Structure 1
Amino acid sequence: VENNTNVIVTGINKELVGNTAARIRAVRPPEVYKGKGIRYAGEMIKLKAGKSGKK
């Protein structure tokens, strides 16, 4: 753990590193309305527009 917001996963076996990163991300996947959750560095998440209020 680099700091409270960054986690670095390293290793010799690239497949195992990818699987471990995917398991960490699966704990809290990024959600599309607010962008909260665990995402990879440099990953861009397209945010959806929420419901507009009725008046």
Structure 2
Amino acid sequence: MALFLFLILVAIVLGLIGVAVKGLFYLLIIGAVVLLADLVLFGVRWSRRSRRHHFVR
């Protein structure tokens, strides 16, 4: 969970710098990619945890 929150923070900071500093638009793009990768990673972890509970009897 700490990694998830850290990557969200990194994505927000990169996005803010990319918007604020002229000529560093690529940082906004990198921030968006990091955010997307973080959400995918979170979704994969969430789905793995969900599957285990279905087979409990």
TM range, smaller chain: 0.3 to 0.5
Tell me the TM-score normalised to structure 1 length: 0.36
TM value normalised by structure 2: 0.35
Which structure has more helix as a fraction of its residues? 2
